[in-house]
Homo-oligomer: A and B are copies of this chain.
Amino acid sequence: MTEPVTIALDAMGGDHGPDVVVPAAIQTLRDYPDSSLILVGDEAVLRRHLAEGRVEESDRLRVHHASQTVRMDESPSQALRLKKDSSMRVCINLVKDDIADACVSAGNTGALMATARYVLKTLPGIDRPAIITTIPCIGGYTRMLDLGANVDCSAEHLFQFAVMGSVLVEALDGAERPRVGLLNIGEEEIKGNDQVKQAARILAASDLNYCGYVEGDDIYKGTVDVVVCDGFVGNVALKTSEGVASIVSHYMREEFRRNLLTRLAGVIAMPVLKRFRQRIDPRQYNGASLLGLRGIVLKSHGGADVVAFRHAIETAILEAAKGVPAMIDQRLDQMFSERHEQ
């Protein structure tokens, strides 16, 4: 059981638009009987999709018209200026107007971030929103931010990320005092760069559960619950991980396809390989949160399929039920008053 919440879905976004979003919405409604979804996009197209799925519009599954779509390669400034009735923007408007408690889009990240920031604004004390996602690690999962919304982060930005990441983990996992690590390198004489060193000092003085520096390989060891880093670094780390996962799959496929004997071995090992693949399936981690806004915005992978998009909707439902932005706001308030008292 979760709180009754309403989620707006950008039904035209991503590589597959309504082909993925509509079936994902229909499936999610079955599992979350208290939730309502709003499909935002071209109403004729969306109603046709619903008819094809033999699903009727209802209070729990509404269609909300939007006449435009933001293209995947459209620049954020262009999207902001020229696409005021895009499915993406209308979704965010619904959150702003308290008609929806959260929204999910598989549309282009830059445009989504720029529009969300413009329409919703950031929370007091937050300079720029950050992108956070879940990453599998030995023994469970961890979360990392920022993943590309901010480059050249100051120490203060990194501290804000740590606060927001901590609150999200508390809210979604019910963890008390999540362990926070600062991503750094161990090679330099005096480790890392100035921003990281300064952020370490601020974090150590805060009442967050700061556990010190972590290195790239620690992300997957589950050393901490929240990994904090500059958006440039986080984006490279995430994309590099995807690259390694692809090459591993590629090599494995090649080896099992080498000849008749290896193919046979592949058939026998199939159930094991399938379970293995399920465990590293990135779809179960789809749905990155844009944190620091006065509202909940989830970014789905552009190429997400129905399974993956459902995960993003589910994360939105959880964040909405917990009221993550209000939690962050409260926490920031508390931290800043503590810092002023010192």
Contact = CB atoms under 8 A, between A and B. Distances in A.
B269 A265 contact: yes
Given A148-B188, A189-B110, A189-B114, A243 B220 contact: yes
A239 to B, nearest CB: 3
Interface in A102-124: 109-110, 113-114
A248 B245 contact: yes
A239 B152 CA distance: 21
B138 A250 contact: yes
Contact of A189 (B76, B237, B262, B280): B76
A80 B114 CA distance: 50
A147 interface: yes
Contact of A242 (B216, B243, B247, B273): B216
Interface SS of chain A: helix
A113 B244 CA distance: 28
A129 B76 CA distance: 38
Interface residues of A, number: 68
Contacts of A152: 193-194
A266 interface: yes
Contacts of A252: 276
Contact of A216 (B186, B236, B255): B236
Contacts of A327: none
A241 interface: yes
Interface string A221-247: 100000001011101111111111111
A188 B242 contact: no
Nearest to A193: B151
Contacts of A275: 255, 258
A217 to B, nearest CB: 4
Contacts of A335: none
A232 B231 contact: no
Contacts of A217: 239-240, 242-243, 246
Interface in A181-235: 183, 185-189, 192-194, 215-221, 229, 231-233, 235
